[in-house]
């Protein structure tokens, strides 16, 4: 099987030059930490957080995580942070927190251990070492997962192929009878608010209604919008009234105002 | 490159493509490999033969070759993918409800209750399904059709007579809230505890209506 | 129904499906035809054999069987489709690794191992890709979502179950002395005779730190 695995970006595994500065290839980050800033910007950006940076510092010098020479590491870490600042790289707060943690551990190690029971006090590095180890495990695991064949990268699926739909014997889905009853009752309830059915929509032309509204608004006062609607005319009548009002607004014959949402709408002749 | 390998690759390309692949595309693809058009054509023919008695077949269409389900399997594949259950529109449900409960009824009468016109499609659908039929024509100007339900409607809903249709009170022991939702109550008290299946049904119905 | 016909139909179903089909689905489909599970399993095996030297192969993944491009043809198919596959960032892969190996897991738990915050985009991408899903919400303030992997994750990595994934590295075991040094052991005895490499290393280390 052809497995095209994306090369992990781990710095320690990169053999190709990290960068070229004035035509000169940089294979390793110089130990003295003199880093030509522009060239190494990319390198610095590729850290996945303070733990990743710490791991890099440890690995790049073939140190054992378990030994964690705090003084040395702290010094280098701070140098990196300063460099990142200098390069104006966006620095997550987590990096600063780690710097503080390192400094704290360092200071604790410098203090003489006074313990009346003669027990050795917990090494302040223990927690950090545990975190580094834990992070390293999942970092490795993520590389393993990256290497697993993945669909559309390492292997391909077939496209579903066409078929001709053969018309099935038509079985219509049944109506939900209970829902039907509810629908009917709801309809009946609605009609309660309507006038008898002999109110014909045909008689309520929008034009006619517009004239009527203009007659009602025959003076300069604001009138409650609701006065223009007559429940007796039923739903269709209300719709015609509403359309007529909209039409009048459009023709700029009336003004419609409302102080705020839900408050009364007032209508007035222009 | 061996012909067998070429065949395998063409097969893989055809199965992984969402559209037909033309002879020209295949030829271009193999250009670097220096493979003659003859070999490619032969390969395609052999692939075609290979699938003669299979569930799929290689078919030449206007833009190239593609695999499709073989003719005798179409019926089975269609059966495997069930059609989406139809959803009935609110308009259809209301129209049908009025025809059931108010039959004989004309379209104008349905419209006057619903407050909107009834689309011809709805009447057509119901007639085609043979759930409703034209009982006759009203003796008024325009001679509108009078509709009623059919035996077929009863059969397809496992009913013997319309009297078996559920009564509103039977379906739901209506809670105060539900009654209010249905507009059957004018009180405004809210029964917070009603969260049973019936409420859900009504809510489902209401939601359908909202959009 | 003849076995040959059954084979053809299963073949057609598998080729026309956009997702894997399980044995159970096939069995249910043939229920009316009274076809034994044994016949179905045999048919699937025979289909699998039929495609052994083809451009496609029948593969079993977590949710059933599917056809996919055979291993030696993948390279050619990728050549035929010039679009590059989506690349995922290290941050995304680390987040995914944590969800895989520590599921059920919350975002906060992921962040505490990685030492940095997890961007919402990463979670969104993983959810949209359907590699992870929300299993529920933790009963703590804020009700954070609990994540886990999906069958789709397995399917898109040709896996049947999570147990096929590489094991997590063990944490490197500390020597007794190192543990003591780190305060991970409660014993207070000091092995005075220990003048081996470890001690030297530690002393060296201490010197380094004390200056």
Predicted local distance difference test score (pLDDT) of residue C118: 92
Higher per-residue confidence, A115 vs B52: B52
- Assign domain B90-209 to a CATH class: mainly alpha
Query: ipTM of this model?
Result: 0.62
Question: Are the C-beta atoms of residues A217 and A254 closer than 8 Å to each other?
Answer: yes
Q: Residue C22: CB partners within 8 Å, gap ≥ 6?
A: C63, C64, C65
Lowest mean pLDDT among A37-46, A85-94, A217-226: A37-46
Lowest mean pLDDT among A219-223, B52-56, B109-113: A219-223
Taking the Cβ of residue C167 and every Cβ of chain A, the question of whether any pair is shorter than 8 Å is answered with: no
Q: Which of B4, B13, B54 sits opposite C11 (nearest CB)?
A: B54
Residues 106-165 of chain A with CB under 8 A from chain C are 106, 109-110, 118-123, 125-126, 129, 131, 133-146, 148-158, 160-163
Q: In which residue are the tokens 């220096």 written? A: B34
Question: Are the C-beta atoms of residues B69 and B77 closer than 8 Å to each other?
Answer: yes
Distance between CA C118 and CA C116 in Å, rounded? 6
Mean pLDDT value across residues A60-84: 85
% of chain A exceeding 70 in pLDDT: 67
Predicted local distance difference test score (pLDDT) of residue C159: 93
Mean pLDDT value across residues A248-261: 76
Categorize the per-residue pLDDT at A45 as very low, low, confident or very high, splitting at 50, 70 and 90. Answer: low
CATH of span B3-80: 1.10.10.10
Predicted local distance difference test score (pLDDT) of residue B190: 38
Distance between CA A38 and CA A19 in Å, rounded? 9
Predicted local distance difference test score (pLDDT) of residue A155: 92
DSSP chain C: --HHHHHHHHHHHHHH-SS-B-HHHHHHHTGGGT--HHHHHHHHHHHHHHTTTSSEEEEEETTEEEEEE-GGGHHHHHHHS-SPPPP--HHHHHHHHHHHHH-SEEHHHHHHHHSSPPPHHHHHHHHHTTSEEEEEE-SSTT--EEEEE-HHHHHTTT-S-GGGSPPPPPPPPPPHHHHHHHT--------TT--SHHHHHHHHHHHHHH-
Predicted local distance difference test score (pLDDT) of residue A113: 63
pLDDT < 50 regions, chain C: 185-211
Distance between CA A219 and CA A211 in Å, rounded? 14
* pLDDT tens, position by position, B146-158: 888 888 888 888 8
Q: Which chains touch A (3 or more CB pairs under 8 A)?
A: B, C
Predicted local distance difference test score (pLDDT) of residue B13: 95
Q: In which residue are the tokens 């804020």 written? A: C142
Higher per-residue confidence, B123 vs B143: B123
Q: C66 forms bridges with which residues in the sheet?
A: C59
Taking the Cβ of residue B68 and every Cβ of chain A, the question of whether any pair is shorter than 8 Å is answered with: yes
Taking the Cβ of residue A2 and every Cβ of chain B, the question of whether any pair is shorter than 8 Å is answered with: no
Predicted local distance difference test score (pLDDT) of residue C62: 92
Of C178, C206, B96, the residue nearest A182 (C-alpha): B96
Beta carbons of C68 and A49 less than 8 Å apart? no
Q: What angle do CA B11, B15, B17 make, to 5 degrees?
A: 120
* pLDDT tens, position by position, B75-117: 899 889 876 666 788 889 999 988 888 877 889 889 888 888 8
**To the nearest whole number, what is the mean pLDDT of chain A?**
74
Residues 160-219 of chain A with CB under 8 A from chain C are 160-163
Mean pLDDT value across residues A170-178: 71
Distance between CA B158 and CA C133 in Å, rounded? 43
Categorize the per-residue pLDDT at A131 as very low, low, confident or very high, splitting at 50, 70 and 90. Answer: very high
Dihedral (C-alpha) A134, A137, A142, A144: value to the nearest 10 degrees? Answer: -170
Find the DSSP H helices in A148-205.
177-192
Higher per-residue confidence, B191 vs A72: A72
**To the nearest whole number, what is the mean pLDDT of chain B?**
79
Mean pLDDT value across residues A171-188: 77
Predicted local distance difference test score (pLDDT) of residue A108: 86
Question: Are the C-beta atoms of residues B131 and B96 closer than 8 Å to each other?
Answer: yes
Mean pLDDT value across residues A217-236: 77
pLDDT at A146 over 70: yes
Q: Residue A125: CB partners within 8 Å, gap ≥ 6?
A: A68, A70, A105, A109, C182
Q: For chain B, what are the domain ranges? A: 3-80, 90-209
Predicted local distance difference test score (pLDDT) of residue B158: 80
Reported as type and span, the H/E element at residue B132 is: strand B132-137
Predicted local distance difference test score (pLDDT) of residue B211: 39
Mean pLDDT value across residues A227-250: 79
Predicted local distance difference test score (pLDDT) of residue A255: 81
Question: Are the C-beta atoms of residues A228 and A256 closer than 8 Å to each other?
Answer: no
Categorize the per-residue pLDDT at A31 as very low, low, confident or very high, splitting at 50, 70 and 90. Answer: low
> Do the domains C3-80 and C90-209 sit in the same CATH topology, yes or no?
yes
Predicted local distance difference test score (pLDDT) of residue B24: 92
Distance between CA B113 and CA B106 in Å, rounded? 11
pLDDT at A171 over 80: no
Higher per-residue confidence, B176 vs A60: A60
Residues 95-154 of chain B with CB under 8 A from chain A are 96-98, 100-101, 109, 112-115, 129
| Burial class of residue B160 (count of CB atoms within 10 Å of its CB; 0-12, 13-18, 19+) | exposed
């Amino acid at each position: 099987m052809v497995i095209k695995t994306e090369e992990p970006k781990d710095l320690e595994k990169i053999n190709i030059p990290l960068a070229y500065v004035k035509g000169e290839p940089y294979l390793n980050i110089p130990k003295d930490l003199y880093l030509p800033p522009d060239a190494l910007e990319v390198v610095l950006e590729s850290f996945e957080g303070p733990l990743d940076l710490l791991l890099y510092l440890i690995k790049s010098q073939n140190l054992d995580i378990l030994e964690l020479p705090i003084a040395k590491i702290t010094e280098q870490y701070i140098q990196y942070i300063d460099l990142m600042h200098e390069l104006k790289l966006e620095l997550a707060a987590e990096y600063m927190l780690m710097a503080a943690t390192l400094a704290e551990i360092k200071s604790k190690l410098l203090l003489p251990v006074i313990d009346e029971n003669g027990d050795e006090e917990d090494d302040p590095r223990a927690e950090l070492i545990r975190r580094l180890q834990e992070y390293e495990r999942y970092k490795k695991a993520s590389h393993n997962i990256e290497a697993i064949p993945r669909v559309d990268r390492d292997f391909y699926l077939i496209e579903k192929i066409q078929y001709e739909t053969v018309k099935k014997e038509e079985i219509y889905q049944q109506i939900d009878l209970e829902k039907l009853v509810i629908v009917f009752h709801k309809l009946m309830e609605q009609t309660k608010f309507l006038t008898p059915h002999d109110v014909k929509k045909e008689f309520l032309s929008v034009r006619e209604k517009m004239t009527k509204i203009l007659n009602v608004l025959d003076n300069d006062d604001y009138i409650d919008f609701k006065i223009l609607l007559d429940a007796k005319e039923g739903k269709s009548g209300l719709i015609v009234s509403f359309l007529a009002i909209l039409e009048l607004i459009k023709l700029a014959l009336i003004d419609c105002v409302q102080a705020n949402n839900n408050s009364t709408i007032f209508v007035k002749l222009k | 490159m061996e012909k067998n390998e070429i065949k395998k690759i063409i097969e893989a390309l055809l199965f992984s493509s969402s559209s037909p692949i033309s002879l020209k595309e295949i030829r271009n693809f193999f250009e670097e490999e220096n493979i003659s058009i003859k070999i490619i054509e032969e390969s395609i023919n052999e692939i075609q033969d290979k699938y003669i008695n299979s569930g799929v077949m290689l078919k030449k269409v206007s833009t190239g070759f593609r695999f499709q389900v073989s003719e005798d399997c179409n019926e089975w594949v269609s059966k495997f993918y069930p059609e989406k259950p139809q959803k009935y529109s609110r308009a259809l449900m209301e129209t049908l409800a009025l025809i059931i409960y108010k039959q004989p009824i004309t379209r104008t009468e349905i419209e006057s209750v619903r407050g909107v016109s009834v689309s011809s499609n709805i009447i057509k659908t119901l007639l085609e399904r043979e759930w409703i039929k034209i009982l006759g024509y009203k003796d008024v100007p325009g001679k509108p059709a009078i509709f009623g339900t059919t035996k077929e409607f009863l059969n397809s809903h496992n009913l013997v007579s319309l009297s078996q249709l559920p009564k509103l009170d039977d379906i739901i022991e209506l809670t105060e809230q539900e009654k209010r939702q249905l507009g059957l109550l004018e009180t405004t008290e809210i029964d917070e505890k009603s969260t049973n299946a019936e409420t859900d049904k009504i809510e489902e119905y209401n939601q359908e209506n909202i959009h």
